[in-house]
Structure 1
Amino acid sequence: MAATGTGAQELENHHSERPVQLCNPHVASLKEDVLYHFSLGTGTHDLPAMFGDVKFVCVGGSPSRMLTFIKYVATELGLGRPGDEYPNICSGSDRYAMYKVGPVLSVSHGMGIPSIAIMLHELIKLLYHARCTDVTVIRIGTSGGIGLEPGSVVITRQAVDACFKPEFEQIVLGKRVVRGTDLDEALAQELLRCAGELSEFATVVGNTMCTLDFYEGQGRLDGALCSYTEKDKQDYLRAAHAAGVRNIEMESSVFAAMCSACGLRAAVVCVTLLDRLLGDQIRSPHEVLVEYQQRPQRLVGHFIKKSLGRA
């Protein structure tokens, strides 16, 4: 049934505020848009009916972690009970996993810039085709800290590259294309306030260094290849800290660049599993790491509850 009167006007105003944008004029000319790695498409699925109510998208590397997150959010929002099953919407593909409850979408992105970039292209197109508005996208994950106690949570102010520059570089048609990596400052501060309300773990706002590699790219001494000394490593990590970097991971730069380009309010919230100034290998017991990994989920879950007026 179509909305009428004042309610219809309010709905129209709400949906005109911040629509998802595409920075690609060619998509409009497609007879059908196949989101191959999701096993979804405009010709095979009613994307507005399936996803039109989405307001929050949370992405993370691991399919199992994103399933755990959607179960947690469902319980927190009163939209599910422990033991409920949540089918993988992308079960026709083995690349990514996607789960939904109410206005929350939870999607895995794999490891590294190439994997999350492919996922984001199709995710942003999905939100666009579904005619979603006022969408907030948050990456939740793990990272290596610099000068922080393990278990600290970092809310990213800027994603920077391995030279501490706030930019994402990509080669397009043989040419260097550089995009900015600023994230929504107001959203970062809102998440920091939510962390203060929870008062469960140390949380800071700082820059996040995004690298192309887990080993040499992050200055580790324990990879199969290493061409530098312990002193070289320490000098580099201390220079990163002086540049405002508080953690290191492998997805934030392209995430920030793509979300910003398409008008999406975005944030990155990662827990640190170790202090890289003190070592390279993660040695905390499994049960401790599991609890650490739940911290970004609890913070973002509280933010979503508060945003929906259910906190």
Structure 2
Amino acid sequence: MAPGFTMEKKEDGQSTSKSASIHLSNPHLQKMKEDILYHFDLGTGTHDFPALFGDVKFVCVGGSPSRMKAFTKYITGELGLGDPDADIPNICAGTDRYAMYKVGPVLSVSHGMGIPSISIMLHELIKLLYHSKCCNVTVIRIGTSGGIGLEPGSVVITSQSVDASFKPQFEQIILGKAVVRGTQLDGELARELMECSQEIQEFKTVIGSTMCTLDFYEGQARLDGAFCFYTEKEKLQYLQAAYDAGVRNIEMESSVFAAMCNLGGLRAAVVCVTLLNRLEGDQISSSHDVLVDYQQRPQKLVCHFIKKQLGKA
């Protein structure tokens, strides 16, 4: 087997190996002459992966292409790796599915919205890191969310992702059968990120469970979708039950993100800002400027973490 390739994986996502290399649990890949990462417009037959990405140590992913480009520009200036005002090329310019930017050891990738979109991206990202012979990689999702019992603008570092029944698991149907995988995230990494927030002292940050749903409206107990067959009282009872179960925010990507990073042997975290308190309403009514400030908070926190890891803080 090639270095970093292992089949020693449990379905709960926990690795039996302490190796810091990337794990691919797919023997079929070794039989392929070329691996085409279709949604990135990259391939092992057309690109030199180790030369392009071999130095990557941090991967930051988020839903919006423009947000990930802005993050790349921001961290370029913070790390002193170039002119943050200069144009940064999109490595995936040949496709409109995802956007990818790189500066030094930091790779930024958009993942779209929802579990299907981020799962496709993660399959190809993990293969990209493997083909690039990367090791000791930390992957962090930075994004937005709805808070539960938190004031808008608070940042949540996810301890574990839970489903809509508050179970720490990701369930997927494969070959007609339900496969359940664990969604626990790296506790040490979460604590390191919390320490960074305490050093910044610019916004409230908490560690808590994140509920990952399949939908923005009914799946998150909103009252403002095209369809709603429950009462406001039932909605509030459900959200209060989520809070009592340790849930502090809701989004739509963390469960599969945690499960796949565990399977790939990647140290991972989810850092999301809350745009509203769902116990007080459903619609996001803050001004554009306020929302821009909120969305920059996870970026500031993760950037500070990366600078510390590189000895530049």
TM-score, normalised to structure 1's length?
0.94
Aligned to 1:46: 48
- Which residue of structure 2 lines up, in the alignment, with residue 189 of structure 1? 191
Paired position in structure 1 for 2:121:
119
Unmatched segments (≥5 aa) in structure 2: 1-17
| 2:189 alignment partner, SS class | helix
Instruction: Kindly indicate whether the alpha-carbon contact (under 8 Å) linking 1:71 and 1:80 is maintained by their aligned counterparts in 2.
Output: no
Structure 2 counterpart of 1:131: 133
C-alpha contact (below 8 Å) 1:274/1:282 kept by paired residues: yes
Out of 265, 268, 271, the residue aligned to residue 269 of structure 1 is 271
User: Counterpart of 2:36?
Assistant: 34
Trace 1:1-311 onto structure 2 (pairs within 5 A). 18-311=20-313
SS of 2:306's partner is: helix
Q: CA deviation at 1:85?
A: 1.2
Contact map agreement 1:152 1:201 (CA 8 A) in 2: yes
CA distance in 2, matches of 1:26, 1:86: 35
CA positional deviation for 1:82: 3.1
Alignment-derived partner of residue 7 in structure 1? none
| Runs of 4+ that moved beyond 4 A | none
Could you report, residue by residue, the CA deviation over 1:222-276 in whole angstroms, capped at 9, with x for unpaired residues?
Answer: 0000010000000000000000000000000000000001100000000000000
CA gap 1:65/1:35 in 2 versus in 1, 3 angstroms: same
CA distance in 2, matches of 1:196, 1:277: 26
Number of aligned residue pairs: 296
Q: Distance in 1 between matches of 2:296 and 2:27?
A: 40
Cα deviation for residue 17 of structure 1 reads 5.1
Q: Runs of 5+ in structure 1 lacking a partner?
A: 1-15
CA RMSD between the two structures:
0.8
User: How far apart are the structure 2 equivalents of 1:167 and 1:69?
Assistant: 30
Decide whether the 8 Å contact of 1:47 with 1:129 is kept in 2. Answer: yes
Letter in 1 for 2:242: A
Q: Which amino acid aligns with 2:184?
A: D
Distance 2:61 2:232 in 1: 34
Name the aligned partner's letter for residue 312 of structure 2: R
The answer (yes or no) to whether the contact 1:55–1:104 under 8 Å persists in 2 is yes
TM-score normalised by L of structure 2: 0.94
Question: What amino acid sits opposite 2:303 in the alignment?
Answer: G
User: Quick one: percent identity of the two aligned structures?
Assistant: 75
User: Secondary structure in 2 aligned to 1:297?
Assistant: helix
